[in-house]
Amino acid sequence: MSHCKPYVIGIDMGGNTTDIGVVDSRGKIHASTSIRTKDYAAEFGDFIDALAKAIRQLLGNIGGPQMIAGIGIGAPNANFYSGNIENAANLPWKGVCPLAEMLYDRLGIPVAVTNDANAAAIGEMTYGSARGMRDFIMITLGTGLGSGIVINGQLVYGHDGFAGELGHVKVRQGDRLCGCGQKGCLEAYCSANGVARTAREWLKTRSDDSSLRNLDPETITSKEVYEAAMNGDAFSKEIFDYTGQLMGEAFAEFVCFSSPEAFILFGGLAQAGDLIINPLRKAMEANLLKTWQGKIKIIPSALKLSEAAILGAAALGWKAQ
C-alpha cells in the first residue's frame, strides 16, 4: 500500500536547529516545524525523543503516520549505508549515533539518511537546477565546502558511504590548516570561513588600502567582505578573485574524474554570484583539457536556501524502506 501514501518527511539536521517538513511528490511543503538541536546536546536519545514528538504533532495535521511513505534526513557526517551519524564535528554528540534505527524505533516509519550536501544534490536533481541531469556535482558553500556527486543518475556513496568529500582535496599551492587536521584543503580557502581567513591573512600581510581595515579583523565575516566588494573595494574583490580561482582549478580536476554536465553551487557564499563565478569559470577553463573547454556549466541552485535541504531530504525519504 506504500504507493498510496502521498507524503514524505524531510529533515534538515544542523548543529543549531533541526527543520522538519511534510512534502508531497511535487516538492510542495505542506507542513513544517523545527526543534533546537542544541537543547538536547547532553543526550542523543533526548534529541530523538524530541524529534519523534515534533513529527507526531505535525502528522496530526495531515492525517497521521499512514500518510507517510518514508522519512529522509540530511545531517552532517550521516552515512547512507549504516544510517548512523559518525564523528560529526558540527553536532554536539560524539562518536557514532544510530540516527535511522532510533527514529524508526520511535515511529515505525522507514528512515533513510545521508549527509547534508548529498541531500542537497538529491533535492537539486528532483526539484531544482539539475532536473533531467544524470551527471553533475553539487557544491555547497556554507561554513565549509560540501559536495554531492551524481553519476549515471545515482548519488555516489562510495565503498563506505563517505564519498564526496571534495572540501578536502588540496589546493595546488597552500598550507592553511583545515579543521580535519590536514593542510591546504579546498574548504580552508573556498567557504565562508575560508573567505574570512583570507581577509584576515591579507590584512596582516599586505599594506594596501581597504574598507575592511575599519572592521575588527578577528571577527570579520565573508558577508562583510562581500558587501565591501560590492561597494567597490578592490582588496575585497581580489579576495573573491582568489577564492574563485582556487575553486576553478579544483573544478578542472573534478571534471577529469567524472566529466559532469554541470557544477551546481549552493549556499550562502554561492549567492555572491558573478563575484565568485566569473573568476571560478576563468580558472576552470584555463585548466581544462581541450575536450571540455567551453562545455561545463556552472549554475546556481534553483532552490530557496531555506527549503533546499528539507526538499532534498524529502526526496530521499521516498527511497526509505
Interface ranges with a second copy (CB under 8 A): 86-87, 134-135, 149, 151-152, 154, 156-166, 168-170, 172-173, 180-182, 184, 249, 252-254, 256-261, 287, 289-292, 295
Shortest Å, Cβ 232 to a second copy: 34
Residue 246 has which C-alpha cell? 582556487
Residue number, 50 or 169, with CB nearest to a second copy = 169
Shortest Å, Cβ 124 to a second copy: 16
Residue number, 11 or 138, with CB nearest to a second copy = 138
Shortest Å, Cβ 154 to a second copy: 6
CA distance 13 to 122: 16
Residue number, 22 or 178, with CB nearest to a second copy = 178
Residue number, 108 or 181, with CB nearest to a second copy = 181
Shortest Å, Cβ 164 to a second copy: 7
Residue number, 152 or 214, with CB nearest to a second copy = 152
Shortest Å, Cβ 22 to a second copy: 30
CA distance 167 to 247: 10
Residue number, 143 or 236, with CB nearest to a second copy = 143
Shortest Å, Cβ 86 to a second copy: 8
